[in-house]
Amino acid sequence: MRTNSLDYIKEKALDRRRISPDEALLLMEGADLTLLGFLANEIRKNLHPEDIVTFVIDRNVNYTNICVAGCKFCAFQRKVGSPEGYVLSKEEILRKVQELVDWGGTTLLMQGGLNPDLPLEYYEDLISSIKERFPQIQVHSFSAPEIVYLSKLEGISIKQVLERLKNAGLDSLPGGGAEVLSQEVRSFLSPGKCTVEQWEEVHRTAHELGMTSTATMMFGHIEKPHHIVEHLERVRRLQDETGGFTAFIPWTFKKGNTQLDHIEETSTVYYLKVLALSRIYLDNFKNIQSSHVTQTMHVGMVGLHFGANDMGSVMIEENVISSTSYKVNIPKVEDMVSAIRSAGFVPAQRDTYYRIVRVFE
């Protein structure tokens, strides 16, 4: 059949016609890296003809590492009662936000474990204190598993949790905790976290309340190509429904101090194929991010020719991936600007909402 032809799918993609899940799977399994890269790059050029590549200056504050989820891929978590467990004080977090402001940052990303000792009031007080002292900072914090866990802990709905956090000053949600949005994968990988449907409900509800969020995918472990396509289909469908996602951010599993250290990490080629497929499939997403954190800056730069138009963040700190054996290199602003230029693009600083703050001519 013509619809099973790579040439036909290529034609559809270049004409900006939506490809189906079956066609995406055929691309994933049958197309070579150069074809995927070509299609993704053409689509990126159509969406971003000005060749601007953005990045954000943010700080990733992990307010606690105590977590009851028990995800097999995580090296950061500590069990309740562990001597290595911690909860940052409000004063310490405010000090970190001050450093972010002093550094010219715009975005505060706070994520932590599912900590049974932290009630919803802890989060409300923390956010309102941050907003009171730093009203200019965009609070882009708390993943769907944290929201679902708070809902269970407090005995209230997901909507009620989000309403209270929004009233306290929460601006938007990161897409963390998605891993791969296939229940078959999640049941093995992170059985203590929210379900696929609950992850979708959190983001759908946040969008209905007027908040934006990002969609993410952490892959390169036990998933198969059809799981990747299922994930992309789920976020594309939700974006059709709400339009609330600002970007899609895929990155790969890194081993070291995890329960999955027996798994061989995925290749750069596989990462670039998934990145390109994301740009081809997610026709209702304007922004796709290339991961310099898990892939190195050099591969991150290559990703800009495989559909990505954003290089993520210049972070003051990163703790989760750094808990594995992988050495995370955090670039300075001048390093990020230089890398984007070297890849042939115009660098620009953005905010949480992908609004341009500064273009580096």
Write down the pLDDT at residue 4.
Answer: 60
pLDDT at 123 over 80: yes
Binding site annotation covers 313? yes
Write down the pLDDT at residue 317.
Answer: 59
Binding site annotation covers 74? yes
pLDDT at 131 over 90: yes
Q: 3-state DSSP call for residue 251?
A: strand
**Distance between CA atoms of 252 and 334, rounded to whole angstroms?**
25
pLDDT (average), residues 58-63: 92
Per-residue pLDDT of 4-44, as tens digits, reads: 699 999 999 999 999 999 999 999 999 999 999 999 999 99
pLDDT at 331 over 80: no
pLDDT at 121 over 70: yes
269 pLDDT band, cuts 50/70/90, is very high
**Distance between CA atoms of 71 and 83, rounded to whole angstroms?**
19
Task: Give the CA count within 13 Å in the CB-facing half-sphere of 245.
Answer: 29
pLDDT (average), residues 314-339: 68
Of the candidates 188, 147, 180, 149, the one whose C-alpha atom is nearest the C-alpha of residue 164 is 147
Write down the pLDDT at residue 1.
Answer: 39
265 pLDDT band, cuts 50/70/90, is confident
Write down the pLDDT at residue 76.
Answer: 79
pTM over 0.85: yes
Write down the pLDDT at residue 256.
Answer: 73
Average confidence score pLDDT of the chain = 92
**Distance between CA atoms of 327 and 46, rounded to whole angstroms?**
35
Q: Any idea which of 208-212, 260-264, 299-303 has the lowest mean pLDDT? A: 260-264
Do 291 and 252 contact (CB within 8 A), yes or no? yes
Binding site annotation covers 291? yes
Q: Any idea which of 191-200, 254-263, 299-308 has the lowest mean pLDDT? A: 254-263
Per-residue pLDDT of 193-239, as tens digits, reads: 999 999 999 999 999 999 999 999 999 998 999 999 999 999 999 99
Write down the pLDDT at residue 320.
Answer: 47
Binding site annotation covers 82? no
Do 54 and 29 contact (CB within 8 A), yes or no? no
Binding site annotation covers 73? yes
Do 40 and 276 contact (CB within 8 A), yes or no? yes
Q: Which residues pair with 219 in a beta bridge?
A: 252
Binding site annotation covers 38? no
**Distance between CA atoms of 123 and 128, rounded to whole angstroms?**
8
Write down the pLDDT at residue 326.
Answer: 41
Q: 3-state DSSP call for residue 74?
A: coil
pLDDT at 324 over 70: no
Structural domains for the chain: 19-359 (3.20.20.70)
Per-residue pLDDT of 80-112, as tens digits, reads: 999 999 999 999 999 999 999 998 899 999 998
Write down the pLDDT at residue 72.
Answer: 75
321 pLDDT band, cuts 50/70/90, is very low
